[in-house]
Amino acid sequence: MALLHGERRQTVMFPASIDQYVAADDPVRAYDAFVEQLDFAALGIAWDPDRVGAPEYDPKAMLKLLVYGYSYGIRSSRKLERATVHNLSFMWLLGGLAPDHKTIARFRRSHRAALARVLKQCAQMCLRLQLIDGNTLFVDGTKMRANASFSRDWTTKRGVRLLEKLDQRIAEILAACETTDRTEDGLNAPGRLPAALRDAQALKERVQGVLQELAGSAQRSINTTDRDCRRMKSRQGAMVGYNVQAVVDDRQGLIVHADVVSDQNDVQQFAHQIEQANEVVGGVCAVACADAGYANTGELKRLSEQEITVIVPSQDQARRTLRGPFDRDKFVYDAQQDCYRCPAGNVLGYRRTDRRAGRNVYRMAHASLCHGCASWGVCTRAKRGRSIVKPIDDALKQQFEAEYAKPESQAIYRRRKERAELPFGHLKWNLGVQSFLLRGLSGVRAEASILATCFNMKRAVTLLGVPGLLRAWGTA
């Protein structure tokens, strides 16, 4: 079969303008129209087309570059710079502008607060397009790596251990210096020893400063590259990173609100994230749903008091463990006497309240009752006898468990996975976003806002099509 060969020197007639290269239904037109719809004053970005003075790049063009680039997994400022001269859709989007990577990085860094507000306006646009209704909201979280490494993460134990080694190293260097002074006339003395001494002393001062900072805070560790990130455990292993939170609407699975926190778990996030999402939609949702990682009775109560139906399984419901013959529910609680009665008829009286853990502890009056019981070794092996731990808000916890167990609640909870976890899957695996580029909470929140906006735009284009979006925004 004959081969087809190209010819670079072939004379061709190009269209008169670059606009003719971009089809009417090309997604880049939707991103262009989206940024044009944003209220830059509300974002906090000054935009005056009639300004005078030294010229600078149009902030609308710079924001278009970031949103469109992030939507296709291009986040590096150098890659974005390359795209503005090599990629036709980027050339069309910016109208031929080609900012260098330093300009792109500076714009992103200096407008972090404004970038964090983009998602709110995007969600409100989707609300007007009836892609979001705000009735049922799902909350989910994921861990994402920070732009920092474990080598810069310091704990008290690691700092103390390094100080011991530095003291030993400094002593060795000083001893070597004394030996050199005694045996040499100074003309051939190597210059590395004093420099090594200065480096060791400087490192010792830095480590001492970190230890003082740790002693004055409640943190277990401090990362000297990004002081807002924390040590976290994820499915990919231990890392230094952030906890990314997203509130997703049930109607079409679009993100209503996104946030980034330093908390290592989700137990304190449920009510706050739902309330932030309610502010975006301008009302109170009817149902709030999350997985067992958010099972904190105080958080659930906070939303329940706002007449929101809360669907969150307890840890016991999530584990689905089989009940044994001596589980707590097999012990009968006497509210009047404030005690439990075991299956053998013996009484476990109140002993103490653990305020920190939020629970009451009940224990067998005499350990001999357990030791002489036929179920000894099966019910308990504790020397002090069997004990029962009862949450202080146990009645409220049972109320939420009963709500989760309802058939209609189960139907909603089954939709949670496909709605709440889809955005993270798209961002991590389709776009390849495994870590943040910016540092600090303000920086990572800005990136999370842009990434969530990109997901919403992708979904909106899929649901309405580019022509449909352009008509809805009056730019067709």
> Which uninterrupted H or E stretch holds 153?
strand 153-155
Q: Which fold has domain 136-147+229-319+398-452?
A: Nucleotidyltransferase; domain 5 (3.30.420)
CA 137/CA 274 separation, integer angstroms: 7
User: What is the distance, to the nearest Å, from the Cα of residue 208 to the centroid of all Cα atoms in its chain?
Assistant: 31
SS3 for 335?
Answer: coil
The pLDDT tens digits for 238-282 are: 889 999 999 999 999 999 999 999 999 999 999 999 999 999 999
CA 387/CA 398 separation, integer angstroms: 20
Tokens 């404030």 found at: 338
pLDDT of residue 322: 58
Query: Parallel, antiparallel, or unpaired for β 359-364 and 387-391?
Result: antiparallel
pLDDT of residue 442: 95
Cα distances from 474 to residues 61, 317, 460, 463, 471, in angstroms, run 20, 49, 16, 18, 5
pLDDT of residue 455: 97
> Which uninterrupted H or E stretch holds 470?
helix 440-472
Exposure on the CB side of residue 105, measured as CA atoms within 13 A? 10
Query: Parallel, antiparallel, or unpaired for β 359-364 and 347-354?
Result: antiparallel
Q: In 219-322, at which residue ranges do the beta strands (DSSP E only) sit?
A: 221-223, 230-234, 237-249, 255-261, 287-289, 309-311
Helix 270-281 to helix 297-304 angle (10° resolution) is: 30
Cα distances from 278 to residues 44, 132, 256, 291, 455, in angstroms, run 22, 12, 9, 19, 20
Question: Residue 38 corresponds to which tokens in the numbers above?
Answer: 């944003």
Residue type, 22: V
Q: What is the dihedral of CA 160, 166, 171, 173, to 10 degrees?
A: 180
Residue type, 89: S
Question: Residue 169 corresponds to which tokens in the numbers above?
Answer: 């190293």
List of residues 6+ apart from 342 with CB closer than 8 A: 326, 331, 348, 364, 379, 386
pLDDT of residue 54: 65
Residue type, 285: C
Contact 386, 363 (CB under 8 A): yes
Q: Tell me the β-bridge partners of 350.
A: 362
Cα distances from 422 to residues 159, 425, 427, in angstroms, run 41, 5, 9
Its sign, for the CA torsion 370, 371, 372, 378, is positive
pLDDT of residue 284: 94
Question: Residue 132 corresponds to which tokens in the numbers above?
Answer: 């979001």
User: What is the per-residue DSSP string for 337-392?
Assistant: TTEEE-TTS-EEEEEEEETTTTEEEEEES-HHHHHTSTTTTTS---TT--EEEEET
Contact 404, 294 (CB under 8 A): no
pLDDT of residue 77: 96
pLDDT of residue 320: 67
| pTM tops 0.75 | yes
193-200 own/partner pairs: CB under 8 Å, 24+ apart: 197/170, 197/173, 200/166, 200/169, 200/170, 200/173
Residues of the chain with pLDDT under 50: 186-189, 191
When computed from its CA atoms, the radius of gyration of the chain, rounded to whole angstroms, is: 31
Helix 118-128 to helix 27-37 angle (10° resolution) is: 110
Contact 378, 326 (CB under 8 A): yes
Helix 440-472 to helix 59-71 angle (10° resolution) is: 90
Residue 404: phi, psi to the nearest 5? -65, -35
The per-type count for the chain, helices as H runs and strands as E runs, is: 18, 13
CA 389/CA 400 separation, integer angstroms: 19
List of residues 6+ apart from 288 with CB closer than 8 A: 136, 137, 139, 270, 274, 303, 308, 309, 310, 311
